[in-house]
């Protein structure tokens, strides 16, 4: 008995081994294009192991290549007969019809097949997957749509959404989503994420917007469509429309400005200051006794400040008006933790735009004494206070402020900014070696802006020191730049005018031109500034400030002179000639934006200068 068992096992192993050899050989024949030989072997293997899915698949594939319609149909029908519950084989029969150009026969067959199982969720899902496996995506969708028609769209919502996204059927995606939301508002979060592809084309986004408006009007009691409209406007960055929508929701739900404030903050982050100002004003007008009144006031002041100061030439009238507005707010509320941020903006206005540094210093010193403020905000106040001290030539106190922040936030962006400011202070005062050591550390700063500024100032020091034993020329140039920082235009200009005569062979000529152009900008002589920048990038095209001058000239030409064609040419020149410049990314964006016909206002909302 034992001998018989061993004998049978041995025979079985030999048969399996022979089958494996035949399978490999058949596969090799197929790969080599010897389809007749492959077909003969697979036919033999199929008879030996009719339950093998692997052999079935390869045999069917071979028959299709051989154009043997009769045998392919017979093979699939045999599989269907043996596996009556396996709908994938029934799909295979229609698939075979299609391979032999029997489209009408296949369509009738598939239509009957789909309708035969449309009342069972599992069968619909399996049938759809079987179509997908054969690359019959349209029939996959038809199967799911028929199932949804029979059982309800929510049953197959996820599968249909995935199918529509995969096939880029955006209008079907939109229509299905809106119908599903009508039935179940809880789907809103998932639905808005699924609708992302719609916003890739303006035509599709407009269709979604119009359909959502239609559903809103037809279903006035269903707030989900109003919520969807809000999301659509935000996706399209239509902040004015979004504001109307969120105000409507705020009034309807008595939210007392909660989401309006969120939208206002979003508008500020996207430089949509007009809409932000309108949103904050709405919150303020809800009343002084409302809990979000001070948030609205501080937000409004911040938005007004950013709108006023973001332009190349801030309006003095707007600056004065904003100062009055902030003073009125602080007078009504007092100097508290609540008003501290608005006071900070007030200090900035006095220091940088109102030529009243002592008042700015007094405000900052008062803020720092206010209890219970965030330590990072206090650090920002100290950095600004250090700047103000430096502008009034109070070197020691400026260094002290920067040093405190550097020590307290050593590994943070605030600490890196403090270190940079301290390095620049040392540069202003002629301590180039120490300044350069600090700047070299900051070249790898986490903040790209700090890193870029550190690299630029380090290169300036490196290229213009060590040329003689005294570094006197560089010291005088740094002093001129310090005078400009302190807004002492006359002293700065006097040094700049004398430098070329005192040091005729020095390498500072391009830096002198650049600083002269910045002086003219400060004096609002923009055409003169553009000419000086032009001279610099044309005469000193290989020096380190050429790309700075080119970028600055392009911006002044665009935003103040209004010559968009010339500005576009300058941005193009920077991109082509200075592809390693720190400004090349913004220059490229501006170039293509101008080429697409964007207005100055649209460009200004996208970029900060």
222-236 per-position pLDDT tens digit: 899 999 999 999 999
Burial class (CB in 10 A: 0-12, 13-18, 19+), 212: buried
pLDDT of residue 469: 52
Asked if residues 55 and 85 have their Cβ atoms less than 8 Å apart, the reply is: no
pTM for the structure as a whole? 0.81
For 204-356, where are the E strands, in sequence order? none
Q: Which residues of 404-422 are buried (b: 16+ CB within 10 A; e: fewer)?
A: bbbebbeebebbbbbbbbb
Token digits of residue 29: 């024949």
Average of per-residue pLDDT values in the chain: 88
Per-residue confidence (pLDDT) for residue 124, from 0 to 100: 94
CATH number for position 532: 1.25.40.10
Q: For 53-81, what is the mean pLDDT? A: 87
Report the share of the chain in percent with pLDDT over 70.
94
* Helix or strand holding residue 83 (H, E): none
Residue 171 within any structural domain of the chain: no
Average pLDDT (425-434) is: 94
Report phi then psi at 596, rounded to 5.
-80, -5
* Angle value at C-alpha 27, between 25 and 31, nearest 5 degrees: 115
Per the structure, the complete domain to which residue 531 belongs is given by 508-606
User: Which stretch of 268-277, 375-384, 576-585 has the lowest confidence by average pLDDT?
Assistant: 576-585
> Does 233 or 2 have the greater pLDDT score?
233
Cα separation, 408 vs 475, in Å, equals 31
Give pLDDT tens digits for 84-100: 888 999 999 999 999 99
Task: Specify if 588 maps to a domain.
Answer: yes
Rounded Cα distance between 229 and 2, Å, is 79
* 561 within some domain: yes
253 lies in a domain?
no
Whether the CB-CB separation of 229 and 222 falls below 8 Å is answered with no
Give the pLDDT score at 280.
Answer: 97
Q: Average pLDDT, stretch 97-121?
A: 92
Q: What is the pLDDT of residues 234-276, one digit of tens each?
A: 999 999 999 999 999 999 999 999 999 999 999 999 999 999 9
Per the domain annotation, does 554 fall within a domain?
yes
Give the per-residue pLDDT at 6.
40
Mean pLDDT in residue range 64-73: 88
Q: Which of 103-112, 125-134, 312-321, 468-477 bottoms out in mean pLDDT, i.e. has the lowest? A: 468-477
Give the residue-averaged pLDDT of 199-208.
91
Q: Residue 223: phi, psi to the nearest 5?
A: -70, -15
Which tens digit of pLDDT belongs to each residue from 521-534? 999 899 999 999 99
- The total number of structural domains in the chain stands at 1
Is residue 582 included in any domain, yes or no?
Answer: yes
- Specify the pLDDT at position 39: 75
Rounded to whole angstroms, the Cα distance separating 156 from 167 reads 16
Say how far apart CA 229 and CA 211 lie, in whole Å: 10
Q: Is residue 276 part of a domain?
A: no
Distance from C-alpha of 520 to C-alpha of 504, rounded to nearest angstrom:
23
Give 35's pLDDT tier (boundaries 50, 70, 90).
confident
What is the per-residue pLDDT across 416-427, written as a single tens digit (0 to 9) for each?
999 999 999 999
Residue at 439 is within a domain:
no
Residue 350's pLDDT is: 96
Specify the pLDDT at position 171: 94
In this predicted structure, what is the pLDDT of residue 13? 41
Structure token pair of residue 478: 């740094």
Between the alpha carbon of residue 378 and those of residues 297, 370, 531, the distances in Å are 20, 9, 42
């Amino acid at each position: 008995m034992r001998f018989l068992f061993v004998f049978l096992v041995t025979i079985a192993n030999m048969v399996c081994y022979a089958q494996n050899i035949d399978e490999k050989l058949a596969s090799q024949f197929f790969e080599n294009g010897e389809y007749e030989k492959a077909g003969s072997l697979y036919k033999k293997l199929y008879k030996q192991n009719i339950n093998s899915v692997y052999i079935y698949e390869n045999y069917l594939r071979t028959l299709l290549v051989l154009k043997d319609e009769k045998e392919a149909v017979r093979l699939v029908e045999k599989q269907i007969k043996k596996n009556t519950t396996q709908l994938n084989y029934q799909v295979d029969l229609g698939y075979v019809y299609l391979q032999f150009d029997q489209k009408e026969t296949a369509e009738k067959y598939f239509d009957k097949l789909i309708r035969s199982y449309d009342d069972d969720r599992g069968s619909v899902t399996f049938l759809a997957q079987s179509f997908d496996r054969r690359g019959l995506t349209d029939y996959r969708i038809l199967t799911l749509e028929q199932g949804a028609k029979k059982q309800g769209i929510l049953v197959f919502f996820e599968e249909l959404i995935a199918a529509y996204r995969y096939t880029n059927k955006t209008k079907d995606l939109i229509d299905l989503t809106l119908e599903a939301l009508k039935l179940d508002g809880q789907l809103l979060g998932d639905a808005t994420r699924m609708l992302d592809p719609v916003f890739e084309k303006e035509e599709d986004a407009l269709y979604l917007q119009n359909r959502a408006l239609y559903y809103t009007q037809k279903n006035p009691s269903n707030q989900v469509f109003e919520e969807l409209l809000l999301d659509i406007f935000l996706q399209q960055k239509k902040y004015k429309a979004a504001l109307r929508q969120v105000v409507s929701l705020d009034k309807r739900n008595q939210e007392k400005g909660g989401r309006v404030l969120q939208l206002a903050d979003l508008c500020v982050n996207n430089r949509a200051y007009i809409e932000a100002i309108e949103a904050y004003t709405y919150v303020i007008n809800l009343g002084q006794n409302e809990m979000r009144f001070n948030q609205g006031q501080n937000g409004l002041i911040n938005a007004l400040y950013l709108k006023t100061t973001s332009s190349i030439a801030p309006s003095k009238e707007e600056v004065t008006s904003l100062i009055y507005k902030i003073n009125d707010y602080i007078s009504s509320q007092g100097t508290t933790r609540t008003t501290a941020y608005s006071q900070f903006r007030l200090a900035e206005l006095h220091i940088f735009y109102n030529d009243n540094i002592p008042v700015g210093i007094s405000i900052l010193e008062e803020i720092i004494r206010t209890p219970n403020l965030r330590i990072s905000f206090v650090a920002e106040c100290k950095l600004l206070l250090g700047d103000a001290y430096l502008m009034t030539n109070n070197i020691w106190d400026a260094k002290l402020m920067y040093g405190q922040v550097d020590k307290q936030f050593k590994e943070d962006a605030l600490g890196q900014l403090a270190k940079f400011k301290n390095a620049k202070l040392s540069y202003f005062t002629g301590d180039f070696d120490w300044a350069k050591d600090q700047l070299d550390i900051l070249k790898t700063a986490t903040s790209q802006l700090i890193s870029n500024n550190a690299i630029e100032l380090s290169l300036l020091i490196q290229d213009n020191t060590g040329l003689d034993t005294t570094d006197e020329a560089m010291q005088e140039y740094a002093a001129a730049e310090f005078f400009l920082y302190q807004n002492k235009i006359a002293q700065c200009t006097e040094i700049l005018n004398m430098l070329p005569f005192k040091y005729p062979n020095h390498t500072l000529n391009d830096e002198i031109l650049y600083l002269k152009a910045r002086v003219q900008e400060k004096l609002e002589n923009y055409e003169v500034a553009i000419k000086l920048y032009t001279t610099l990038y044309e005469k000193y095209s290989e020096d380190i400030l050429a790309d700075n001058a080119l970028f600055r000239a392009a911006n002044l030409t665009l935003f103040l002179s209004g010559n968009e064609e010339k500005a576009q040419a300058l941005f193009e020149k920077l991109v082509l000639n200075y592809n390693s410049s720190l400004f090349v990314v913004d220059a490229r964006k501006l170039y293509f934006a101008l080429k697409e016909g964007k207005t100055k206002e649209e460009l200004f909302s996208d970029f900060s200068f």
